[in-house]
């Protein structure tokens, strides 16, 4: 019964969290966006104390239910392991805890998440971020292609139930990282179940300390147990030593598989009655528990202080991306520093961006974190999707009125690339489409009344939306581009 309930909840959470990254209409996030907000690392970086405390209390009471129900990467491993079981049943076995690896990864994670320029290392092993990249880079294109197939047939049936969307790889680097991550975790899950969770994942290590002292946990009744080993051979966490009738609760993910497999009723999930000392070295465990808790609190405290398509029928050459000194960050992110310190590179904002402005960065200092580009669209002033979906507070919630008064960058005109100068034709595309009137067209030569007009930019009024850059017809080098601001300003 407990196992069936756990599976039902896990399927619900996994499906809906995955749809947060796949649904390009934003409908799912309206109702289930809170599922991203209760992920451990994003909540920690957002200083969402209520969520962090609730997850720790949940673990202290019932064990690592977060890992078996709420964490999408954990559930994905269960899905892969389920199909792995089809090839060979009873295939797991007890393995001792690899403490040196678990603690080493945790220390590196805590160190790199705080250090400037190497935060991407922490993002590689953060479970929610890793799954977000897998979903948005590997699953989303397949989902979008399926949608386009339906849109194709719907159009021929005079139906507008579906509409086509662009399918493209936003960053080859991030795509490759997502693919390698997926293959690695899938292979480990196929062969060993929850190997990643219990040897690499820093969240699993942190919650494992609390799970050791959980009030409710699986307990082996030695009087009923006949040492058949069936429980251990079906434990995907490899934490049941059936010979010694012990369970490593720091690695147990409370999946209840062992209870369902025991035909003697020798394992039950009940209130703890055995003192922690009987499980081996309470003093040493407490010291480790307090050490990791202190590291986690310290990390939180430090974080609290840091704050293509141009239309028409002609073939149009691709535009070469400009060489920006500062890549613009979305409105609501306050500054490059704040965004870099809080962003977990989960790609949820990238998936949610309806204008395809946000793409993962390939720059090593901001690797996999989103940045604004304007090859496929521009950041419309009325859109605040990214600020409404960010679970880590890297992009703070704003409304449309606030967005129109936030300058994330400013336009720069390159005279040598402008068609007015190079081809001697009238243009004005940038000024026509500027939503805040920051670009005016004036005569290139005031002494000649018939001279062509060129753009003049008011950087104090420009909000850095990128409409001018996106719609500039100059190719391959655009005549105008947006330079980002280190610190956003009000206009």
Across 269-286, average pLDDT: 57
Q: How confident is the model at residue 316 (pLDDT cuts 50, 70, 90)?
A: low
Q: Three-class SS string for the chain? A: CHHHHHHHHHHHHHHHHHHHHHCCCCHHHHHHCHHHHCCHHHHHHCCCHHHHHHHHHHHHHHCCHHHHHHCHHHHHHHHHHHHHHHHCCCCCCCCCCCHHHHHHHHHHHHHHHHCCCCHHHHHHHCHHHHHHHHHHHHHHHHHHHHHHHHHHHHHHCCCCCCCCCCCCCCCHHHHHHHHHHHHHHHHHHHHHCCHHHHHCCHHHHHHHHHHCCCCEEEEECCCCCCCCCHHHHCCCCCCEECCCCEECCCCCCCCCHHHHHCCCCCEEEEECCCCHHHHCCHHHHHHHHHHHHHHHHHHHHHHHHCCCCCCCCCCCCCCECCCCCCCCCCCCCCEHHHHHHHCCCCCHHHHHCCCCCEEECCCHHHCCCEEECCCCCCCCCCCCHHHHHCCCCCCCCCCHHHHCCEEEEEEEECHHHCHHHHCCCCCCHHHHHCCCCCEEEEECCCCCCCCCEEEEECCCCCCCCCHHHHHCCCCCECCEEEEEEEEEEEC
Is the separation of the CB atoms in 486 and 336 below 8 Å? yes
Which residues, other chains included, contact 392 with Cβ-Cβ below 8 Å and sequence gap of 6+?
Answer: 41, 42, 43, 45, 46, 342, 343, 344, 346
Given the structure tokens 């293509």, which residue do they identify? 308
Express each pLDDT in 223-242 by its tens digit: 888 888 889 898 999 999 98
Number of residues assigned to the chain: 491
β-strand 370-372 against 406-413: which pairing, if any? unpaired
Is the separation of the CB atoms in 472 and 416 below 8 Å? no
Give the CATH class of 408-491: alpha beta
d(CA 182, CA 80): 11
d(CA 340, CA 321): 22
Is the separation of the CB atoms in 468 and 433 below 8 Å? yes
Residue 211 pLDDT > 80: yes
Q: How confident is the model at residue 477 (pLDDT cuts 50, 70, 90)?
A: confident
Given the structure tokens 């964490």, which residue do they identify? 71
Q: How confident is the model at residue 290 (pLDDT cuts 50, 70, 90)?
A: low
Burial of 88 (0-12, 13-18, 19+ CB in 10 A): exposed
Is the separation of the CB atoms in 344 and 45 below 8 Å? yes
**Predicted pLDDT at 320:** 80
Burial of 158 (0-12, 13-18, 19+ CB in 10 A): exposed
Express each pLDDT in 19-51 by its tens digit: 999 998 888 998 999 999 999 999 998 989 999
**Predicted pLDDT at 88:** 76
- What residues form DSSP beta bridges with 216? 271
d(CA 397, CA 367): 24
Q: Could you tell me how far CA 422 lies from the centroid of its own chain?
A: 44
Residue 374 pLDDT > 90: yes
Q: How confident is the model at residue 87 (pLDDT cuts 50, 70, 90)?
A: confident
CA-nearest of 63, 93, 2 to 215 is 63
Express each pLDDT in 439-469 by its tens digit: 999 998 888 877 899 999 999 999 999 999 9
Tokens of 366: 């901001």
Q: How confident is the model at residue 292 (pLDDT cuts 50, 70, 90)?
A: low
d(CA 321, CA 353): 20
Residues of the chain with CATH 3.30.70.20: 408-491
**Number of CB atoms found within 10 A of residue 20's CB:** 24
| Average pLDDT value over all residues in the chain | 88
**Predicted pLDDT at 283:** 52
Express each pLDDT in 145-165 by its tens digit: 999 999 999 989 988 888 888
d(CA 391, CA 296): 19
Q: Which pTM was predicted?
A: 0.84
**Number of CB atoms found within 10 A of residue 274's CB:** 9
């Amino acid at each position: 019964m407990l196992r069936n309930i756990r599976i039902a909840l896990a399927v619900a959470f996994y499906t809906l969290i995955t749809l947060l990254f796949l649904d390009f209409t934003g409908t799912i996030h309206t109702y289930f966006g809170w599922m991203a907000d209760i992920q451990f690392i994003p909540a920690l970086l957002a200083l969402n104390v209520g969520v962090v405390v609730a997850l720790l209390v949940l673990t202290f009471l019932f064990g690592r239910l977060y890992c078996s129900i709420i964490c999408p990467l954990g559930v994905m491993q269960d899905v892969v392991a389920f199909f792995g079981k089809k090839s060979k049943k009873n295939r797991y076995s007890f393995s001792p805890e690899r403490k040196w690896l678990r603690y080493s990864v945790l220390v590196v994670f805590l160190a790199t998440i705080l250090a400037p320029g190497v935060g991407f290392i922490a993002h590689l092993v953060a479970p929610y971020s890793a799954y977000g990249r897998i979903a948005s880079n590997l699953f989303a294109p397949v989902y979008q292609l399926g949608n386009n197939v339906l849109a194709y047939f719907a159009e021929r049936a005079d139906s507008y139930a579906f509409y086509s969307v662009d399918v493209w790889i936003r960053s080859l680097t991030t795509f490759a990282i997502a693919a390698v991550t997926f293959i690695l975790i899938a292979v480990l899950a196929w062969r060993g179940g929850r190997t990643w969770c219990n040897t690499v994942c820093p969240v699993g290590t942190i919650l494992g300390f609390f799970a050791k002292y959980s009030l409710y946990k699986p307990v082996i009744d030695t009087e009923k147990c006949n040492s058949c080993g069936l429980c251990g051979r079906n434990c995907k966490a490899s934490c049941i030593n059936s010979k010694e009738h012990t369970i490593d609760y720091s690695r147990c993910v409370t999946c209840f598989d062992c209870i369902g497999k025991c035909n003697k009723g020798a394992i039950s999930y009940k209130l703890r009655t055995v003192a922690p000392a009987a499980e081996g070295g309470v003093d040493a465990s407490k010291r480790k528990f307090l050490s990791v808790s202190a590291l986690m609190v310290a990390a939180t405290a430090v974080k609290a202080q840091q704050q293509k398509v141009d239309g028409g029928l002609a073939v149009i050459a691709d535009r070469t991306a400009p060489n920006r000194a500062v890549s613009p960050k979305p409105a609501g992110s306050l500054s490059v520093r704040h965004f870099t310190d809080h962003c977990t590179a989960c790609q949820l904002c990238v998936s949610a961006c309806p204008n395809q402005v946000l793409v993962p960065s390939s720059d090593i200092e901001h690797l996999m974190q989103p940045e604004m580009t304007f090859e496929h669209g521009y950041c419309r002033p009325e859109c605040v999707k990214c600020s409404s979906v960010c679970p880590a507070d890297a992009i703070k919630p704003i409304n449309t009125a606030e967005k129109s008064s936030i300058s994330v960058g400013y336009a720069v005109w390159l005279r040598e690339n402008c068609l007015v100068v190079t081809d001697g034709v009238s243009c004005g595309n940038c000024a026509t489409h500027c939503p805040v009137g920051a670009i005016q067209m004036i005569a290139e030569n005031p002494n000649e009344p018939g001279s062509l007009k060129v753009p003049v930019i008011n950087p104090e009024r420009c909000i850095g939306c990128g409409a001018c850059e996106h719609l500039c017809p100059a190719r391959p080098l655009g005549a105008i581009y947006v330079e980002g601001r280190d610190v956003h300003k009000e206009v």
